[in-house]
Chains A and B, each alone.
Chain A
Amino acid sequence: MRKTANQLGWLFVLPVVALVAFNAVIPLMTVVNYSVQESFGDNVFFWSGVRWFQEILTSSRFHEALLRQILFTAIVLAIEIPLGLAIALAMPRRGPWVSVCLVLMALPLLIPWNVVGAMWNIMALPEIGLLGKAINALGITYNYTRQPVAAWFTIVLMDVWHWTSLVVLLCFAGLVSIPDAYYQAARIDAARPWAVFRYIQLPKLRYVLTIAILLRFMDSFMIYTEVVVLTGGGPGNSTTFLSIDLVKTALGQFDLGPAAAMSIVYFLIILLLSWLFYTLMTRNEAK
C-alpha cells in the first residue's frame, strides 16, 4: 500500500509537541546545558564537559545523601505498604462506616506539606510538644533537634502518618472491586482466611500495589518540604536527603553546574529504579 503524502497531520500533533516541549523537554535541556558548563556572573559560561558529573559521582557528600535517601525510602516503603494493606483489609466494606473511614483516611492527604512539617515540628518539641513530652515522660531522652536517631524516627513517623492513607485508599479501591463471587467460591472451596488473602485478594491487588509502591517510591525519594520544615536536614547532615542537598547546592551556593549535573543524576536514578520496580512487578504477565 502506498502512503498518501499528507503533511496536514503534523498540524494536529503540534499542540502536544509544544506542550511537552515547554513542559519537559526545554527545561530538561536547560539543565543539561548547565550541567556541562561553568557559570560566572553576567551570564558568562565556559564549556566544562563531564567535569561536574565526575565531581558529583565521586563526591562523598553526594554518596552519603544518596545512601540516606535509599535508606529512608526503604524504611518508609517497608512500613507503609504492609500497614496500608492491613488497614484496607480491616476496613468495613459495606455500611455507614465506610464513608467515615474513607474521610478519616483522606484527611492527612489533604494537608499541605509544609503544614504537615510544621505540625510535627510543634508536636515533637521536647518541652511543649505532645509527642515530645510524652516520649520524654516515658523516661526516654528524646530530642529530634539534637539526636539523629530521634530525627529519623520523627521523620519516618511523620511520613507514615502522612502517606499510609494513600496506600490504604488504593488498596481499598482494589478490594471493593473484587466481585462477591470470588469470596463465595472461596467459602464453597473451604478456603481459610489466609488462603483467601493469598490466592484471591493479593493477586487481585497486584496492579494497585504496583501503583502504590511506585508512587510511594517516587514521592519518598523526592521528599523535601516536610523534612526542611521539621529538621532543616539536621542535626548535622543526618537528615539531608538528596533533594535537600540539591537545593543547598543550587540555591545556597549558587553552583549551577554541579547542581544541574546532580539533578540529572538524581533524575536518572529515579527513572532507573522506577523502571526496575515496574518490570519486576509486571514480569509474570509477559510470560
Chain B
Amino acid sequence: MRKAASSREARLARITLEDLRHTYGTMADGEVVWALRRMTLELADGGAYALLGPSGCGKTTLLNLISGLLRPTEGRILFDGVDVTDKSPEERNIAQVFQFPVIYDTMTVYGNLAFPLRNRGVPEPQVDARVHEIAAMLELEATLKQRASGLTADGKQKISLGRGLVRSDVNVIMFDEPLTVIDPHLKWVLRSKLRELHRRIRRTMIYVTHDQTEALTFADQVVVMKDGEIVQIGTPVELYEDPKHTFVGHFIGSPGMNVLPCRVENGVALFAGRPVDSANAAAYRGNGKMLELGVRPEFVRLAEDGIPVDIVKVLDAGRYQIVESRAAGSTIKLLVREGETVPEGRGFVHFAPDHTRLYEDGWVVR
C-alpha cells in the first residue's frame, strides 16, 4: 500500500473480462441459475461507460465482479493484462460509490474524505491537499468541519462520491445507481458534475443504472444488459439509430421502438400482408423461428397510402404528439409534430426504409 501511495502517478487501466460467468447458487432441483452468462468484454482506459439494463439483469453483479467484492464462478478479470481475479478490492485499487450513501457517521466530512487516504498511509499534507481539492470540486468546502451525519441525502452522496474520487491513483471508479436517493432537480446537477469530473480527471468510470437518460448522458459507451447477457455495446447514437436487438430498441427511447411480427418472402418483409421496405430483409437466410420488424416511432409517418391503420389514441407530449395506432393486431406508435392534424379513425402510415430493420429471434439480421 505504501508503494501505491508513493507511485501516485496517474495509472490508467484497461479492463478485460474473459469468459466471465457468475452464479449465486444452485436451485433446489440442481439447475444452475447464472446471474451473469458467459461474457467477454474489454473496457478501454479512461473511458466513461454505463451499464444499462432493467432490475435483475446482472449489472450490479458485473460491477461487483470488477471491483472484487465478488469472486467470479468462472473466467478471469485482467487489469492491463494482469490477472486480478483473486485480488481484493483494495489490491485492485478501485473506488466504488453505492446506491445509498455510505458515510462514516461519527466522522466529520473532512474525516470521511480523508479516510481512504489515511488508511493507505498517505502523508498528512498530501491528504489535506487532496481533500480540499475534491471538496472544492463537489462544493463541500463549507461543510468540511461538520459531522457527516448532519448532512442531507445529496450531501451524503456527495461525500460518497468524494471518497471515490479522492484517491488520485485508482484504476477505475464505479458508480452503482448513485443518484437513486437524490432529488430530481439535483440529479441533473450531480450528473453533469460527474461528467465534468470525468473530463477533468480522465479516469475509467463505470456507471450502473436502469435509467436510460442517466446512461446516455453520462457515458461514451453504453453496455446494454438483459438477463445476465450483454445485448449491445455502443455509443448513445448507435444504440438509438442501430439497435442490434429488439430489447435495445424497446428499452432505449421514449416511446420505444415498434416491434411488429412479420413474414419474409423473396427477400421482402411482409407486415399485415403488405410488403414493407426495410434496410436488411434481403440479407435474411430463412431460418429464424420468430421474425419481427423494428422501427422507431420517429421514423413512422402518416401518409396518403401505405399500411392501413386504426388511430386509437393521440397523446400530446409538448413539441410533438404521440399517436397510437393499430394494424393487424399490433400497436404502432408514431410521432407527429405539434400542429399537424391527425386523421380520426382510419389512416395510413409509412416506415422510413433506412430505419426499418428485420429482426430474427430478437437479433438484427445481417
Q: Which residues from B are CB-within-8-Å of A158?
A: none
User: Looking at B102, B115, B119, B147, which has the most chain A CB atoms within 10 Å of its CB?
Assistant: B102
Q: Which residues from B are CB-within-8-Å of A203?
A: 104-106
B325 within 8 A of A: no
B120 within 8 A of A: yes
Task: Given the known inter-chain contacts A182-B102, A184-B98, A200-B104, please indicate yes or no for A191 contacting B119, CB distance below 8 A.
Answer: yes
Q: Which residues from A are CB-within-8-Å of B104?
A: 199-200, 203
The docked-state distance in angstroms from the alpha carbon of A189 to that of B90 is 7
B111 CB, min distance to chain A CBs, angstroms: 9
Interface size on B, residues (CB 8 A): 25
Task: Given the known inter-chain contacts A184-B69, A199-B107, please indicate yes or no for A192 contacting B119, CB distance below 8 A.
Answer: yes
A190 with B102: CB separation less than 8 A: no
Q: Which residues from B are CB-within-8-Å of A181?
A: 98-100, 102
B89 within 8 A of A: yes
The docked-state distance in angstroms from the alpha carbon of A195 to that of B115 is 10
A188 with B96: CB separation less than 8 A: yes
Q: Among residues 171 to 229 in chain A, which have CB atoms less than 8 Å away from a CB atom of chain B?
A: 179, 181-182, 184-185, 187-192, 195, 199-200, 202-204
User: Looking at B67, B88, B105, which has the most chain A CB atoms within 10 Å of its CB?
Assistant: B105
A179 with B69: CB separation less than 8 A: no
B54 within 8 A of A: no
Task: Given the known inter-chain contacts A181-B102, A185-B102, A199-B106, please indicate yes or no for A190 contacting B90, CB distance below 8 A.
Answer: yes
A185 with B98: CB separation less than 8 A: yes
A239 CB, min distance to chain B CBs, angstroms: 40
Q: Among residues 83 to 125 in chain B, which have CB atoms less than 8 Å away from a CB atom of chain A?
A: 88-90, 94-96, 98-100, 102, 104-107, 115-116, 119-120
User: Looking at A184, A195, A203, which has the most chain B CB atoms within 10 Å of its CB?
Assistant: A184
B303 within 8 A of A: no
Q: Which residues from A are CB-within-8-Å of B88?
A: 187
The docked-state distance in angstroms from the alpha carbon of A204 to that of B115 is 18
B98 with A187: CB separation less than 8 A: no
B1 within 8 A of A: yes
A190, A200, A202, A204: the one contacting B119 at CB < 8 Å is A190
The docked-state distance in angstroms from the alpha carbon of A203 to that of B105 is 7
The docked-state distance in angstroms from the alpha carbon of A187 to that of B115 is 12
Q: Which residues from A are CB-within-8-Å of B90?
A: 187-188, 190
B333 within 8 A of A: no
B69, B105, B107, B120: the one contacting A190 at CB < 8 Å is B120
Q: Which residues from B are CB-within-8-Å of A189?
A: 115-116, 119, 163
Q: Which residues from B are CB-within-8-Å of A195?
A: 119
Count, A-B residue pairs, CB within 8 A: 54
Q: Which residues from B are CB-within-8-Å of A182?
A: 102
Please give me the residue from chain B that is nearest to A287 by CB atom. B147
User: Looking at A182, A195, A199, which has the most chain B CB atoms within 10 Å of its CB?
Assistant: A199
The docked-state distance in angstroms from the alpha carbon of A287 to that of B100 is 25
Q: Which residues from A are CB-within-8-Å of B89?
A: 184, 187-188
The docked-state distance in angstroms from the alpha carbon of A190 to that of B119 is 6
The docked-state distance in angstroms from the alpha carbon of A190 to that of B98 is 16
A179 with B1: CB separation less than 8 A: no
A188 with B100: CB separation less than 8 A: no
B176 CB, min distance to chain A CBs, angstroms: 9
The docked-state distance in angstroms from the alpha carbon of A202 to that of B67 is 26
The docked-state distance in angstroms from the alpha carbon of A83 to that of B69 is 31
Q: Among residues 147 to 168 in chain B, which have CB atoms less than 8 Å away from a CB atom of chain A?
A: 147, 160, 163
Q: Which residues from A are CB-within-8-Å of B147?
A: 287
A181 CB, min distance to chain B CBs, angstroms: 4
**What 1/0 mask marks residues of chain B from 298 to 318 whose CB sits below 8 Å from any chain A CB?**
000000000000000000000
Please give me the residue from chain A that is nearest to B102 by CB atom. A185
Q: Which residues from A are CB-within-8-Å of B163?
A: 185, 189
Q: Which residues from A are CB-within-8-Å of B116?
A: 188-190
A40 CB, min distance to chain B CBs, angstroms: 60
B113 CB, min distance to chain A CBs, angstroms: 11
B169 CB, min distance to chain A CBs, angstroms: 12
Please give me the residue from chain B that is nearest to A204 by CB atom. B105
Q: Which residues from B are CB-within-8-Å of A192?
A: 119
User: Looking at B88, B96, B163, which has the most chain A CB atoms within 10 Å of its CB?
Assistant: B96
Q: Which residues from B are CB-within-8-Å of A287?
A: 147
A179 with B100: CB separation less than 8 A: yes
The docked-state distance in angstroms from the alpha carbon of A187 to that of B147 is 22
Q: Which residues from B are CB-within-8-Å of A179?
A: 100, 102
Q: Which residues from A are CB-within-8-Å of B102?
A: 179, 181-182, 184-185
Please give me the residue from chain B that is nearest to A185 by CB atom. B102
A92 CB, min distance to chain B CBs, angstroms: 18
Please give me the residue from chain A that is nearest to B97 by CB atom. A185
The docked-state distance in angstroms from the alpha carbon of A195 to that of B120 is 13
B106 with A188: CB separation less than 8 A: no
Q: Which residues from A are CB-within-8-Å of B119?
A: 189-192, 195
User: Looking at A185, A191, A203, A287, which has the most chain B CB atoms within 10 Å of its CB?
Assistant: A185
B105 with A188: CB separation less than 8 A: no
A122 CB, min distance to chain B CBs, angstroms: 47
Task: Given the known inter-chain contacts A179-B100, A181-B98, A181-B100, please indicate yes or no for A187 contacting B69, CB distance below 8 A.
Answer: yes
Q: Which 6 pairs across A and B sit closest by C-beta, in order of nearness?
A: A185-B102, A190-B119, A189-B116, A181-B98, A199-B104, A203-B105
What are 29 of the A-B contact pairs (CB < 8 Å)?
Answer: A179-B100, A179-B102, A181-B98, A181-B99, A181-B102, A184-B64, A184-B96, A184-B98, A185-B96, A185-B102, A185-B160, A185-B163, A188-B96, A189-B115, A189-B116, A189-B119, A189-B163, A190-B90, A190-B116, A190-B119, A191-B119, A192-B119, A195-B119, A199-B104, A199-B106, A199-B115, A202-B106, A203-B105, A287-B147
B residues near A (Cβ < 8 Å) are 1, 64, 67, 69, 88-90, 94-96, 98-100, 102, 104-107, 115-116, 119-120, 147, 160, 163
Besides the known contacts A184-B69, A184-B89, A188-B96, 11 further A-B residue pairs in the complex with CB atoms under 8 A apart? A179-B102, A181-B98, A181-B99, A181-B102, A184-B98, A187-B88, A187-B89, A188-B95, A189-B119, A190-B119, A202-B106
